[in-house]
A and B are shown apart, each in its own frame.
Chain A
Amino acid sequence: MNKNKEQLLNKRYKAEQRFRLYGQSAIFMALLFLTIFIFKIFSTGYSAFQKTWLIVPVTFDAELMMLEQNPSKEDIQDADYYDIALKSMADLDPNANEDQENELKRMVSYFFEKEIKNELLNDPSLIGKTKEVYLTASDDLDQVFKGNYPRDLPEDQRRVSDYQLKIFDQLVANGKVESKFNISFFTNADSREAELAGIASSFMGSIFSILVCLMIAFPVAVLAAIYLEEFAPKNRFTDFIEVNINNLAAVPSIVFGLLGLGVLLAIFQLPRSTPLVGGITLSLMTLPTIIIAARASLKAVPPSIREAALAMGASRMQTTMHHTVPLSMPGTLSGTIIGLAQALGETAPLILIGMVAFVNTIPGSPMDPAASLPVQIYIWAESAERGFVEKVSACIMVLLAFLITMNLFAQIIRHKFEKKWS
């Protein structure tokens, strides 16, 4: 009898331990996912912040450039650089035949002409002389240099030929290949060529969308929250508004995209693919989030504040505007930032309103076509070139850095400025 009891107790304790273990492993699993995730993004993405350059001697031959004696700045601007660019690449291998010369040319980006031109524009005295110029390596060679390229594939399955690899290895052995911080990733707009593609256009697109979103959503949401929390009579209509807000907060984001498409583009005829439309669509999405946050923080202001103001003869409007609202601002602001961070990461609605178009210029206003950072991630992720994989991860890193900063900022506002009533 006693033994039986002990067995039972042991069994129960074991069950207790098992249950505890389940809980621990659940948390462990969740954190494991997070770690794998972040590790994967960083390990594929960090190399995109480096860019590979080939150092190629370029002879600025005035004749080949069709330049007269003592050329003016305009002449240099209009000169023909294609031939000298081609020649300097071909000179890498004096024995190259025509096909091989073509392959040599493809070892650098198609931007190489311009890079040589800029070199001369910076220093016009180079005419007739030879100088070693940094040229952007093609994205396949970039990947080869970073060790991301499967060199042991059979040649017909690679985009880099054996010949190109041979010349490239020679260059590496001579120290003519260098890796530097990739500034163009931050200053270039999107491009079809992975080695030239940058996030500047999508970054500006995101900034403009978020600004439009902030300018619409914040005032409307705060005013709505003030009404609902401080002035609204308790009746069926205000209940209806509440139900609406709570539901909107859980409506899938793509439905807002359909709203943008069906109303903003089709009926109001606003320009497609622009941050303006994107921002308005996102503002409708963030509206409920900010309203809920603002209401919560208005609710947290103790009634004694209102009573004191009213007792001093302030009207209800004055009480609200002079006392309750300012006191609730830290909470409202941090809620707003969190809402904006959500909007910043949103992709689906922006795709529907056409912000997925290929844009290779940097937008200067919310009325110019643009992409946004998450959409850029989508566009690059869908493209087949190997060089884009690390770009996607790098773009994700930039986006995550942004989101983390915004959330930290929200935390700081909350902790620093929010009054604790006790």
Chain B
Amino acid sequence: MNLILFTFIVLLGFTSYYFGRKKAYTIQSTKKRLTALPQFYGYYLAIWCAIPAFIIFSLWAIFEPTIVKLLVLNDYSNQGYLDDELNLIYEKTKALSRGQFTGEITPFIEASAEKYLSLRSIAQSSKVVIVLSIIIASVAYAYKRISSNSRTREPVEKFLNAVLFTASLAAILTTVGIVFSLIFQTIDFFKVIPLFDFVFGTHWYPAKAFVRDSSEALDPTMYSDTFGAVPIFAGTFFIAFIAMCVAIPIGLMSGIYLAEYASTKVRQYAKPLIEILAGIPTVVYGFFAALTVGPFLKELGTSMGLEVSAESALAAGGVMGIMIIPFISSLSDDVITSVPQSLRDGSYAMGATKSETIKRVIFPAALPGIVGSILLGVSRAIGETMIVVMASGLAANLTLNPLESTSTITAQIVVILIGDQAFGDPKTQAAFALGMSLFLVTLCLNIVALRVVKKYREKYE
């Protein structure tokens, strides 16, 4: 039904475009001067035809379920039901009206199912009537405006401008959406678990929260030793540190080599090849780390008499480092190439060798940009999920031994939220709290990094 109505609105929109344009030609044929190109008459009529109807249509789709629910559940008010029970009744009603109800049918529910169906059919038919009358009214208005040959280009362009502006708000809306989805759960979480325990606690054992019988009231003291995030934060930064130990030397040196030494031919092939590393999906790296690097390190360790966990931080961090190499190499390559040639010439003129020039002149000059690129790399390492989930441990160990397994923020979020989630459970909320801390940390890193890079760019432009 909705689809038919929607298609109908769209078709009407297209037809009214042709009618509008035709009207413009008729006006033109009476030797009157048009105020805009004929197609603007068409656009004008089409916009007036489709947009108001479409707005009503979407509003209806958003509010109809809520209003129907309120009306159906009205019968049950004053009977002392809890919200959850009311929701259950409503779900049963809907299931019954679709004929998919399997439980025991009580007369109450049968009555509400009938009411539900009749309300739905009233809503459907009134929607069609209202949408059609809106279309008729707005088209009549717009057609009158067209016939009197009033301006059409300006309103159409204003409308387009408004559409463009709305689209540009999407980025803000996404940010708002992220903050919004994280903040409520996080606040609820901190109502149960004190912030202090979360930030300074050293025991992370969210599975404990599962043992709770759901009928019991929440007992905060139960969780006092469950949600201490220190091991998680430590693990996150530790793995990121290992990753950067691999990525910075290799990435930076290859960036320098590509920018300063490599012939055009080498550059032409090596650069895209290295960048392939950035295009490989992270789940593939995770598989590689878990299946190849982890067991390899374990065997290597055993042959040297070391005890290496198959899911060591070293394997996850090392592979993550490989993933980050291209970010650092191409960003530092860009940064180094944009250092003005005059600085190099000056240094060569003083008799410095190429490497001395790079180390003493170019590197200091490019340092802010390089730092920025490294910070972006760190932010990526902290936010990386799949490699850690697949190759590093899932139990949170507080350790600084790269051969043991640790866990990270992202891995814990996945572990907690994989499968079914119960909103309102401290365990689920803990995942959102972790997400919030991840968002804040990466946000700070990104802002600083982007600032530094931007400042640096301005310096040499």
The residues of A with any CB-CB pair to B shorter than 8 Å are: 12-13, 15-16, 18-20, 22-27, 29-31, 33-34, 37, 40-41, 44, 219-221, 223-224, 226-228, 231-232, 238, 240-241, 243-248, 250-259, 261-263, 266, 284, 287-288, 291, 315-317, 321, 341-342, 344-348, 351-352, 356, 374-375, 377-378, 381-382, 389, 392-393, 396, 399-400, 403, 407
Closest residue of B by beta carbon distance from A380: B287
User: Complex Cα distance A251/B175, Å?
Assistant: 10
Q: A245 with B171: in contact, given A23-B256, A34-B273, A345-B282 (CB under 8 Å)?
A: yes
B254 touches A347 (CB 8 A): no
B438 at the interface (CB under 8 A from A): yes
Q: Are B168 and A227 touching (Cβ within 8 A)? A: yes
Which residues from A are CB-within-8-Å of B182?
255, 258, 262
Interface flag for B261 (CB, 8 Å): yes
Contact B270 A291 (CB under 8 A): no
Assembled-state Cα–Cα distance A377/B442 (Å): 27
Q: Which 9 A-B pairs have the closest CB atoms?
A: A252-B383, A23-B257, A345-B281, A262-B181, A223-B167, A26-B253, A19-B355, A227-B164, A348-B385
A31 close to B273 (CB less than 8 A): yes
Given contact pairs A241-B169, A316-B157, a sample of 13 additional A-B residue pairs in the complex whose CB atoms are under 8 Å apart: A18-B355, A31-B273, A221-B170, A224-B170, A246-B450, A258-B178, A259-B178, A261-B421, A262-B181, A262-B182, A356-B418, A381-B290, A382-B390
Residues of B contacting A224 with CB < 8 Å?
A: 164, 167-168, 170-171
Contact, CB under 8 Å: A255 / B178: yes
Contacts of A377 in B (CB 8 A): 283-284, 287
B258 interfacial contact with A, CB 8 Å: yes
Asked if B455 is at the interface of the complex by the 8 Å CB criterion, the answer is no
Report the separation of the CA atoms of residues A107 and B2 in the bound assembly, to the nearest whole angstrom: 52
Contacts of A24 in B (CB 8 A): 257
Q: Does B195 reach chain A (CB closer than 8 Å)? A: no
Contact B171 A29 (CB under 8 A): no
Instruction: Verify if B250 is at the interface (C-beta below 8 Å from A).
Output: yes
Q: Which residues of A lie under 8 Å from residue B280 when comparing CB positions?
A: 37, 345, 400, 403
State whether B439 touches A26 (Cβ < 8 A): no
Partner of B249, one of A26, A33, A257, A259: A26
Q: Which residues of A contact B353 (CB under 8 A)?
A: 12-13, 15-16
B153–A227 contact, CB under 8 A? no
Decide if B55 is an interface residue (CB 8 Å cutoff). Answer: no
Query: CB of B111 within 8 A of chain A?
Result: no
Whether A223 pairs with B254 at a CB distance below 8 angstroms is no
**A29, A259, A317, A389: the one within 8 Å of B177 (CB):** A259
Q: Given A224-B170, A251-B442, A259-B178, do A30 and B254 touch, yes or no (CB 8 Å)?
A: yes
B356 within 8 A of partner (CB): yes
Residue of B nearest to A341 (CB): B279
Structural contact, B355 and A254, CB atoms closer than 8 A: no
Interface on chain B toward A: helix, strand, loop, or mixed SS? helix
A253 → B minimal CB distance (Å): 7
Least CB distance, A231 to chain B, in whole angstroms:
6
B233 at the interface (CB under 8 A from A): no
Q: Chain B, interface size: which category? A: 35 or more
Identify which of A227, A246, A252 contacts B167 (C-beta below 8 A).
A227
Known: A30-B329, A247-B175, A378-B283. A228 touches B168 (CB 8 A): yes
Q: Name the A residues within 8 Å of B252 (CB-CB).
A: 26
Are A348 and B410 interface neighbours, CB within 8 A?
yes
B384 within 8 A of A: yes
Contact A232 B443 (CB under 8 A): no
C-alpha gap A318/B396 in the complex (Å): 59
Q: Which one of B281, B292, B389, B442 contacts A399 once the chains associate, using CB atoms below 8 Å?
A: B281
Question: In terms of DSSP, what is the predominant structure of the interface of chain A?
Answer: helix
Inter-chain contacts of B288 with A (CB < 8 A): 37, 40-41
Cβ of B223 to closest chain A Cβ, rounded Å: 21
For residue A260, give the distance in angstroms from its CB to the closest CB of chain B.
8
Alpha-carbon separation in the docked complex, A251 to B444 (Å) = 11
Nearest CB on A from B407, distance (A): 14
User: A381's closest neighbor in chain B, by CB?
Assistant: B287
Asked if A40 and B292 make an inter-chain contact with CB atoms under 8 angstroms apart, the answer reads: yes
Instruction: Provide a sorted-by-A list of 6 A–B residue pairs whose CB atoms are within 8 angstroms.
Output: A20-B355, A22-B257, A226-B164, A250-B379, A259-B174, A352-B417
Name the residue on A nearest B161 (C-beta).
A231
B365 proximal to A (CB < 8 A): no
Question: A27 contacts B270, CB within 8 Å?
Answer: yes
Contact B291 A381 (CB under 8 A): yes
In the complex, B274 has a CB within 8 A of chain A: yes
* Pair A247/B287 contact, Cβ less than 8 Å: no
B446 interface residue, CB < 8 Å from A? yes
- Give which listed residue, A287, A316, A344, contacts B174 with CB less than 8 A: A287
- Chain B's nearest CB lies how many Å from the CB of A339? 12
Does B335 have its Cβ within 8 Å of any Cβ on chain A?
no
Is the Cβ of B185 less than 8 Å from the Cβ of A262? yes
A255 adjacent to B386 (CB under 8 Å): no
**Chain A CB within 8 A of B42 CB:** no
User: What is the CB-to-nearest-CB distance from A277 to chain B, in angstroms, rounded to a whole number?
Assistant: 13
In the complex the two chains form, is B273's CB within 8 Å of A381's CB?
Answer: no
CB distance from A321 to the nearest CB of B (A): 8
* Contact call A16/B283, Cβ cutoff below 8 A: no
B181 touches A250 (CB 8 A): no
**B393 to chain A: which residues have CB within 8 Å?**
none
User: Contact at B438–A254, with CB atoms within 8 Å?
Assistant: yes
Cβ of B435 under 8 Å from chain A:
yes
The contact string, 1 if C-beta is below 8 Å from chain A, for chain B 270-304, is 10011011011111101110111000000000000
Which chain B residues border A252 with CB–CB below 8 Å? Answer: 379-380, 382-385, 410, 438-439, 442
Within 8 A of A (CB), among B157-207: 157, 160-161, 163-165, 167-172, 174-175, 177-178, 180-182, 184-185
Nearest CB of chain B from residue A244's CB, rounded to whole Å: 4
| Shortest Cβ distance from B288 into A: residue | A37
